[in-house]
Structure 1
Amino acid sequence: MKSFIVLALFVAVAVAAPANPDADAQIVSYRSDNIGVDGYGYEIETSNGIKQSESGTLKNVGTEDEALEVRGQYSYPGPDGVAYLVVYIANEKGFQPQGAHLPTVPSA
């Protein structure tokens, strides 16, 4: 009897939990360039309004400063109905995102 009550409590909590609207999101478009030594690229969009595109290239090939540089952007609809956009570069200097909603470092 005790285990039945515990099971019933777990079921009640599971039913009462809010549904995640993104759980059923589907990929509506996808494009990918061949991945190779000289770079890659892709674009993806999902049914819940998320979009992302990215490309990567090798810089300074054959030197001791050889590094991968990635450029991309993603956007998503926020819970407030606003579409948020982040544009970024990632390279030997790290991940460098920019977006109207992101804080910026004050200049010295």
Structure 2
Amino acid sequence: MMAMTMTVLLAAVLLASAAARPQDAILPEVISSRHMQNEDGSFAYGYEQTDGQVVDVQGEQRQIGDEVGTVMSGSYSFVGLDGVVYTVTWTADENGFRATGDHLPRSV
């Protein structure tokens, strides 16, 4: 079930990325990809594209209060219109979603 959910999520992200590009643009190709699903519910997936986009995600099931939930962390990088590679590192867990990157504003 979790593997199917992750596959659908990855396909939706790739489809959204393709739909957001101008129609006359050459679509990037996937250079490498990986997907791992363990019996304990932990997982990892990632891919790299010819346009420099790189995604890496890992997650696991964790006891959160009285419930069991999925916690995830990862990073993604992309080449901006200015030619600079931007990287965002993120975590989504019982404390919410948190993202950091040199180009993102920081709270004081």
Q: Secondary structure of the equivalent of 2:37? A: coil
Number of aligned pairs? Answer: 87
Output the CA distance in 2 between the equivalents of 1:66 and 1:103: 32
User: Structure 1, unaligned stretches of length 5 or more?
Assistant: 1-17
Greater mean deviation of Cα atoms: 95-104 or 34-43: 34-43
Root-mean-square deviation over aligned CA pairs: 2.1
Q: In terms of Rg, which structure is larger? A: 1
Identity of aligned residues (%): 28
Name structure 2 gaps, 5 residues minimum. 1-21
Aligned to 2:73: 71
The TM-score with structure 2 as length reference comes to: 0.70
> CA shift at 1:52, angstroms?
0.3
Alpha-carbon distance, 1:92 to partner:
1.9
* Higher relative strand content: 2
Is 1:80 paired with 2:63?
A: no
Q: CA deviation at 1:67?
A: 2.3
Alignment of structure 1 residues 30-49 onto 2, 5 Å: 30-34=33-37, 36-49=39-52
Q: TM-score, normalised by structure 1?
A: 0.70
- Cα drift, residue 34 of structure 1: 2.1
- Are positions 1:24 and 2:49 aligned together? no
Letter paired with 1:104? R
Q: Matches of 2:42 and 2:24 in 1, distance apart?
A: 36
Quick one: which amino acid aligns to residue 76 of structure 1? F
Kindly provide the CA deviation profile for residues 22-79 of structure 1, in whole angstroms up to 9, marking residues without a partner as x: x511111101102655211011011111000000111127x61432110100000011
Aligned to 1:97, which of 79, 96, 99? 99
The DSSP-based 3-state class of the residue aligned with 2:41 is: coil
